[in-house]
């Protein structure tokens, strides 16, 4: 028989329920009332606990086909039919609930020779100590005419019931994660299961019964006992959906059977010993249901074989005969969750299908042709105009699809936040103890209640909505994850109150809270909705009397006259816990104290539009600076009180000082040192625990010996090792807490440096976001990877791609990521990135993405030519004649040659310095001047009387400071230090400014005298 594509023909169907859920195990087909004619009934059970029985006798559904409907008041996980009552050979019904196993007798109550109704009577039930997952039944141990139960729990414990009696329970493994299908093989009297390790394992019933009890019947963990021995194990490499005992292969002898395993994408047949006999991969189909059904024997003496019928996620029904696809039929609008095949309505081979939404259908695999017929186009004339129009229409659809992207679903979930600006002081403190380390004001807890409003737009409801909140480490949330069963459109929004508090031992690094909601659309597609909101500044800080002394400070300039601080920070000063005495006089100076105890101050110079933000800690500058900038942009932005007119210049903030990289690098070093210290402590703890185990083993060996040898102070060593282990664990806890604190400081400092870079170099939002992705403020450290190596790799990638100076830099392979020995390379990368941004290079601008080569070579060439000119002048001055003059000229020539040698040495030192700190970039606030003086000091004795300032302007600007020694008409030159380059425009000109020596004017070309 060959494979055909046809439509399955429906014989009978009904919708069991629209509000109930069904899955594998919720359908059973059996003569459950033991009718003499042997007519099968369809039994369904839902997760909502509804039990129904159907008895279809003819085509199409009629109301009398439903013969029983009962609420079992517990979810029905599985339905089975068998001989479960002692002393009776009649078929009974077993229902598996999460915490009980019930057996019922089904009978038909007749009157006057006809059946009036059906009833069920409870025969017995077993209470389960563990939540059940599935079960199987059979003649365990070789019994006859009766069936026993084996129930598998969610934690992998097998419980055996001999009809009305409980037999025993066994835990197969202690590291069990996810249960799988289970099957009983009568021939070998074994149970075959699929483990979470994707292995098919077999356990003999006699071995399980004889094994020691290793299960605590009350609940919880398994008790210590002998491990259950596995008969055989086979790794199939994927999770199994079902396991059955069949005769699938036609080459089997009369008394042989095999185990059929249907995986996620592969079908296996296994021998009784566990070896794989056959396998077939069905990667193009998503299998949702399977069943091996018995075929009529080919001859009276032959044994019956099985075929395999599969239901797929595409709505097809496949029939396989010995791994060969022999039939394929398309179902009518359903994806089956379970399949049964038996005789119904007097017709053999009827297929009973049920999906997860409660649609029940009886069909047979007919030969209805497809609705779309093939058209013979051999004799049809080709119309090229119509073909071209169709081609253009298809191209238009393709362009529209690619341009608009994927169409949005009909339903749209919206998560809004209602953030009050006034704190909830002293409210809902029942769940907060007096000694909890949270922020307080006058003894009352500083907290804020934010309401999340979840609404749905569209026509249909969505279910199983999961909402997750992510806040900085300084905040304590009442709940970080929320689960909503159902959200319906047109209803009032679902309000979820979230209480925010602040830990008083961690510095606040950000005020932004991210919200993410995930759900499934009507097409069963995963969807996510993300939003964010800012918490008020008053939650993390409170105003205090002015504090003028500070160690760190930055200055920000505005292009417009700012308002008073009382106007900008009105939300902070109008809090109920802020006294009027503190809020008065805050027009030009505002001091605040964070919940962590750190103080910060903002000072406004109203005449110049400059703000000075200062604090005792460098990281404490960030949140106050961020709040100041946000309030300024809000005040001067659209809709604000100081909004600019159409013809006015837009508001912007600038930063003119040097970047505080020295303080930033100090925080990086502190964070990295704590990481290394924590790693060393963990290694020491591993050594101590290993030593503890070795000593324990030696002591146990000596205690078990009948004639033990002396302990030799092993017990003392064991106690000392135990004490050291406790000390190390305490030290690790302390260092981890310190690392979390420093991580918050580093995150805040990174945000501050990024903001200052944006203001310093006038970066647009797109470039700023690109830089923030590489120099990320998200500090997350693990044992394998830390913030330093991630940022170093990101910046190296940035320097080799968007900020590369040449194509050659981008062709080199990146080095593997590993934990560095120090932070020197990271500091160099950050300096180089800032250096190239200062030259005008940008990440998203192709015109300047590659940057330009620095112009130090032009400057050095000018200095070299100037020195060669002086050497020629000195040579002409050393002519023979006047001895004093010749002697003087020779001395001058030696001076110039020595200056040239020192200049060459300086070049070498200069390039070494560039390799260390970045070419052309010097910041006295960041680099140690003593180191630079030792590094770049010229050995020529120089007179401080003569100095010059040299500048070069050719699309870049460089400023150098140097010294001249003038003897007569000869100069020797050397360069001492350099300052920042900046971007400038203009023609290529050179200018030398000297404060003395007009006689040298002829040697300098175009000169500008200071």
What does the pLDDT look like over 829-858, one tens digit per residue?
999 999 999 888 888 754 333 333 333 444
Candidate from 226-235, 412-421, 621-630, 903-912 with smallest mean pLDDT: 903-912
Of the two residues 864 and 991, the one the predictor is more confident about is 864
Q: What is the CA radius of gyration of the chain?
A: 42
| Confidence band of 113 (pLDDT split at 50, 70, 90) | low
Residue 373 has pLDDT above 90, yes or no: no
Structure-model confidence comparison of residues 398 and 684, the more confident one = 684
Rounded to 5°, angle at Cα 620 from 618 and 624: 125
**For residue 517, what pLDDT band results from cuts at 50, 70 and 90?**
very high
* pLDDT exceeds cutoff 60 at 734: yes
| Confidence tier at 643 by pLDDT (50, 70, 90) | confident
pTM: 0.51
pLDDT at 609: 82
**How is residue 893 annotated by DSSP?**
H
Residue that is written with structure tokens 């050497």 in the block: 871
The mean-pLDDT minimum among 750-754, 825-829, 1001-1005 falls in: 1001-1005
Give the pLDDT confidence score for residue 568 in this predicted structure: 87
> pLDDT at residue 471 above 70?
yes
- pLDDT at 998 > cutoff 70: no
pLDDT at res. 382: 77
Rounded CA separation 284/6 (Å): 19
Residue 329, pLDDT score: 87
What's the mean pLDDT in 909-926? 50
| Residue 620 pLDDT exceeds 70 | yes
pLDDT digits (tens, 9 = 90+) for 331-357: 888 899 999 998 888 888 899 999 998
Percentage of residues in the chain having pLDDT higher than 90: 36
Q: Which pLDDT band holds residue 933 (cuts at 50, 70, 90)?
A: very low
Give the number of other Cβ atoms within 10 Å of residue 111's Cβ: 8
What would the DSSP string read from start to end of 307-322? EEEEEETTSEEEEEET
pLDDT at 728 over 50: yes
List, in order, residues 6 or more apart from 935 with CB less than 8 Å away.
909, 912, 913
Answer whether residue 580 shows pLDDT above 80: no
Asked whether the predicted pLDDT for residue 467 surpasses 60, the reply is yes
Looking at the predicted structure, is the pLDDT value of residue 202 above 90?
yes
Report in angstroms the alpha-carbon separations of 315 from 312, 335, 999.
Answer: 6, 5, 98
Q: Which of 199-203, 485-489, 642-646 has the lowest mean pLDDT?
A: 642-646
Which range of 59-68, 93-102, 552-561 scores highest in mean pLDDT? It is: 93-102
φ, ψ of residue 177 in degrees (nearest 5): -115, -60
**Cα 134–137–140 angle (5° rounding)?**
130
**Sequence-distant (≥ 6) Cβ neighbours of residue 933 within 8 angstroms:** none
Q: Name the most confidently modeled range: 37-41, 992-996, 999-1003.
A: 37-41
Task: Please name every residue paired with 269 in a beta bridge, in sequence order, or none if there are none.
Answer: 260, 278
Residue 567: is its pLDDT beyond 70?
A: yes
- Tokens 């959200």, residue? 487
**pLDDT level of residue 896 (50, 70, 90 thresholds):** low
- Nearest residue to 995 via CA among 938, 924, 931, 944: 944
Mean pLDDT, the chain, as a whole number? 79
* pLDDT on residue 397: 84
Q: Residue 979: which of 963, 952, 960 has the closest Cα?
A: 960
Please give the pLDDT value at position 936: 42
483 has pLDDT over 60:
yes
Residue 805, classed as helix, strand or coil, is: coil
The proportion of the chain whose per-residue pLDDT surpasses 70, expressed as a percent, equals 77
On the question of pLDDT at 412 being above 90, the answer is no
- CA-based nearest residue to 212, from 223, 202, 201: 223
Q: Compute the average pLDDT of residues 421-443.
A: 74
* pLDDT-based confidence at residue 243 (cuts at 50, 70, 90): very high
The highest-confidence range among 293-297, 470-474, 952-956, by mean pLDDT, is 470-474
In Å, what is the CA distance from 318 to each residue of 8, 243, 304, 538, 883? 11, 18, 20, 65, 115
| pLDDT on residue 944 | 34
Whether 645 has a pLDDT exceeding 90, the answer reads no
pLDDT band with cut points at 50, 70 and 90 for residue 302: confident
Q: What's the average model confidence in pLDDT over 863-870?
A: 53
Say what the pLDDT of residue 1005 is: 32
Characterize 587-626 residue by residue with b for buried, 16 or more Cβ atoms within 10 angstroms of its Cβ, and e for exposed.
Answer: eeebbbbbbbebbbbbbbeeeeebbebbbbbbbbbbbbbb
Whether 870 has a pLDDT exceeding 60, the answer reads no
Instruction: Label residue 173 by pLDDT band (50, 70, 90).
Output: confident
The tokens for 633 are 């942009």
Find, among 475, 546, 553, 534, the residue nearest to 507 by Cα: 475
Q: Which residues contact 16 (CB under 8 A, 6 or more apart)?
A: 22, 44, 46, 52, 354, 358, 359, 360
pLDDT at 572 over 60: yes
The stretch 522-532 carries a mean pLDDT of 84
pLDDT of residue 928: 41
pLDDT digits (tens, 9 = 90+) for 15-27: 998 889 999 999 9
DSSP symbols for 559-617: SS----HHHHTHHHHTSTTS-HHHHTT-SSEEEEEETTS-EEEEEEETTTTEEEEEESS
Packing angle, helices 787-800 and 765-774, rounded to 10: 130
254 DSSP 8-state letter: T
Task: Please report the pLDDT score of residue 1010 as a whole number.
Answer: 25
d(CA 20, CA 675): 53
Q: Output the six-digit token pair for 42.
A: 């369809």
Least confident of 545-559, 672-686, 727-741, 864-878: 864-878
Distance, CA of 677 to CA of 736 (rounded, Å): 10
**What are residue 399's phi and psi, to 5 degrees?**
-65, -40
Domains observed in the chain: 5-368 (2.130.10.10), 412-538 (2.60.40.10), 540-657 (3.30.310), 662-838 (no CATH), 856-1003 (no CATH)
**Lowest mean pLDDT segment, chosen from 463-477, 769-783, 865-879:** 865-879
Query: pLDDT at position 818, please?
Result: 83
Give the per-residue pLDDT at 116: 73
For residues 246-268, average pLDDT: 87
Q: What are phi and psi of 766, to 5 degrees?
A: -65, -45
Separate counts of helices (H) and strands (E) for the chain: 15, 49
What tokens appear for 885 in the block?
A: 């003059």
The DSSP annotation for 31-91 comes to -TT--TT---EEEEE-TT-EEEEE---SSS--GGGEEEEEE-SS---EEEEE--STT--S-
pLDDT at 193 over 70: yes
**Statement: residue 931 has pLDDT above 80:** no
Would the pLDDT of 923 be above 80? Answer: no
Task: Please name the helix (run of DSSP H) or strand (run of DSSP E) that holds residue 375, with its range, or none.
Answer: none
Q: Which of 360, 370, 491, 499 is CA-nearest to residue 439?
A: 499
pLDDT class of 256 with cuts at 50, 70, 90: confident
Q: What is the mean pLDDT of residues 5-34?
A: 88
Which pLDDT score is estimated for 858? 40
| Residue in 321, 256, 316, 251 with CA at minimum distance from that of residue 292 | 321
Tell me: the pLDDT tens digits for 220-237?
444 445 678 899 999 998
Distance between CA atoms of residues 587 and 604, nearest Å: 8
Predicted local confidence at residue 560, as pLDDT: 86
**Phi, psi for 431 (deg, rounded to 5):** -90, 15
Output the pLDDT for position 846.
Answer: 44
* Token pair of 449 as six digits: 């209640």
Burial of 460 (0-12, 13-18, 19+ CB in 10 A): exposed
pLDDT of the residue at 240: 92
Q: Which of 147-161, 523-537, 738-752 has the lowest mean pLDDT?
A: 523-537
């Amino acid at each position: 028989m060959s494979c055909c594509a046809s439509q399955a023909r429906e014989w009978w169907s009904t919708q069991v329920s629209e509000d109930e859920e069904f899955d594998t195990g919720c359908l059973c087909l059996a003569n459950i009332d033991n009718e003499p004619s042997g007519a099968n009934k369809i039994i369904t059970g839902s997760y909502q606990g509804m039990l129904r029985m159907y008895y279809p006798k003819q085509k199409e559904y009629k109301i009398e086909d439903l013969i029983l409907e009962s609420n079992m008041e517990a979810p029905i996980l599985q339905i089975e039919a068998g001989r479960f009552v002692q002393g009776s050979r009649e078929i009974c019904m077993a229902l598996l609930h999460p915490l009980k196993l019930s057996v019922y007798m089904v009978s038909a109550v007749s009157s006057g020779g006809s059946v009036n109704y059906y009833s069920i009577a409870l025969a017995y039930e077993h209470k389960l100590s563990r939540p059940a997952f599935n079960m199987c039944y059979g003649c365990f141990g070789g019994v006859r005419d009766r069936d026993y139960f084996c129930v598998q729990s969610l934690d992998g414990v097998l419980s055996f019931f001999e009809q009305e009696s409980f037999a025993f329970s066994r835990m197969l493994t202690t590291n069990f994660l996810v249960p799988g299908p289970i099957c009983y093989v009568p021939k070998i009297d074994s149970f075959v299961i699929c483990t979470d390790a994707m292995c098919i394992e077999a356990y003999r019933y006699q071995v399980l019964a004889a094994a020691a009890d290793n299960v605590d019947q009350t609940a919880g963990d398994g008790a210590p006992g002998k491990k259950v021995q596995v008969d055989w194990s086979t790794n199939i490499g994927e999770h199994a959906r079902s396991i059955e005992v069949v005769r699938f292969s036609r080459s089997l002898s009369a008394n042989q059977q095999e185990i059929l395993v249907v995986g996620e994408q592969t079908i296996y047949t296994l021998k009784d010993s566990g070896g794989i006999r056959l396998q077939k991969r069905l990667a193009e189909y998503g299998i949702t249901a399977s069943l091996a059904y018995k075929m009529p024997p080919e001859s009276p003496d032959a044994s019956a074989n099985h075929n395999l019928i599969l239901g797929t996620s595409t709505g097809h029904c496949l029939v396989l005969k010995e791994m060969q696809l022999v039939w394929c039929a398309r179902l009518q609008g359903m994806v089956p969750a379970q399949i049964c095949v038996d005789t119904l309505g007097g017709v053999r081979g009827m297929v009973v299908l049920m999906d997860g939404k409660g649609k029940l259908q009886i069909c047979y695999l007919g030969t209805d042709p497809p609705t779309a017929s093939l058209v013979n186009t051999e004799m049809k004339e080709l119309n090229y105009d119509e073909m071209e129009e169709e081609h253009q229409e298809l191209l238009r659809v393709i362009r529209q699809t690619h341009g608009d992207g994927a169409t949005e679903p009909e339903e749209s979930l919206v998560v809004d936040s209602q953030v009050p600006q006034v704190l909830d002081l002293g409210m809902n403190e029942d769940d907060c103890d007096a000694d909890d380390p949270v922020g307080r004001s006058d003894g009352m807890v500083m907290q804020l209640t934010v309401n999340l409003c979840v609404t749905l737009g569209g026509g249909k409801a969505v279910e199983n909505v999961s909402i997750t909140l992510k806040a900085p480490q300084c905040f304590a949330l009442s709940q970080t994850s929320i689960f909503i069963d159902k959200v319906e459109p047109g209803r009032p929004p679902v309000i979820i109150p979230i209480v925010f508090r602040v830990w008083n031992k961690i510095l606040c690094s950000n005020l932004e809270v991210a919200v993410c909601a995930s759900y499934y659309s009507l097409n069963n597609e995963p969807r996510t909705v993300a939003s964010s909101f800012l918490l008020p500044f008053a939650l993390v800080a409170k105003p205090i009397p002015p504090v003028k002394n500070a160690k760190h400070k930055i200055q920000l300039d505005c292009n417009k006259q700012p308002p008073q601080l009382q106007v900008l920070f009105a939300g902070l000063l109008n809090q109920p816990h802020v006294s009027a005495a503190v809020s008065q006089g805050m027009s030009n100076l505002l001091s605040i104290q964070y919940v962590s105890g750190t103080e910060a101050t903002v000072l406004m110079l109203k005449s110049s539009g400059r703000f000075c933000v200062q604090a005792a800690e460098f990281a404490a500058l960030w949140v106050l600076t961020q709040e100041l900038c946000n309030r300024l942009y809000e005040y001067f932005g659209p809709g604000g009180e100081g909004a600019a007119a159409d013809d006015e210049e837009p508001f912007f903030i600038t930063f003119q000082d040097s970047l505080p990289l020295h303080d930033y690098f100090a925080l990086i070093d502190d964070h990295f040192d704590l990481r290394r210290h924590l790693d060393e402590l963990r290694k020491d703890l591993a050594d101590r625990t290993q030593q503890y185990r070795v000593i324990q083993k030696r002591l146990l060996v000596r205690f078990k010996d009948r004639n033990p040898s002396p302990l030799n102070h092993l017990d003392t060593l064991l106690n000392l090792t135990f004490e050291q282990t406790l000390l190390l664990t305490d030290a690790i806890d302390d260092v981890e807490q310190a690392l979390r604190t420093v991580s918050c400081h580093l995150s805040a400092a990174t945000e501050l440096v990024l903001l200052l870079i944006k203001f310093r170099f006038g970066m647009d939002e797109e470039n700023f976001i690109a830089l923030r992705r590489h120099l990320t403020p998200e500090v997350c450290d693990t044992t394998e990877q830390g913030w330093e190596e991630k940022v170093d790799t990101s910046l190296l990638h940035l320097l080799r791609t968007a900020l590369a100076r040449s194509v050659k830099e981008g062709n080199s392979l990146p080095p593997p990521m590993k934990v560095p020995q120090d932070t020197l390379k990271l500091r160099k990368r950050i300096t180089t990135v800032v250096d190239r941004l200062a030259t005008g290079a940008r990440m998203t601008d192709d015109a300047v993405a590659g940057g330009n080569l620095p112009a130090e070579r032009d400057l050095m060439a000018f200095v070299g030519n100037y020195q060669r000119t002086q050497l020629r002048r000195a040579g002409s001055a050393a002519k023979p004649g006047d001895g004093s003059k010749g002697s003087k000229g020779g001395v001058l020539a030696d001076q110039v040659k020595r200056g040239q040698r020192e200049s060459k040495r300086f070049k070498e030192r200069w390039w070494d310095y560039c390799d260390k700190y970045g070419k052309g970039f010097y910041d006295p606030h960041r680099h140690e001047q003593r180191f630079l003086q030792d590094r770049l000091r010229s050995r020529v004795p120089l007179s401080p009387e003569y100095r010059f300032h040299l500048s070069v302007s050719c699309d870049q600007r460089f400023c150098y400071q140097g010294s001249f020694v003038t003897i007569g008409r000869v100069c020797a030159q050397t360069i001492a230090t350099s300052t920042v380059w900046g971007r400038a425009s203009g023609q290529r000109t050179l200018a030398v400014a000297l404060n003395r020596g007009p006689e040298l004017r002829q040697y300098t070309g175009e000169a500008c005298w200071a």
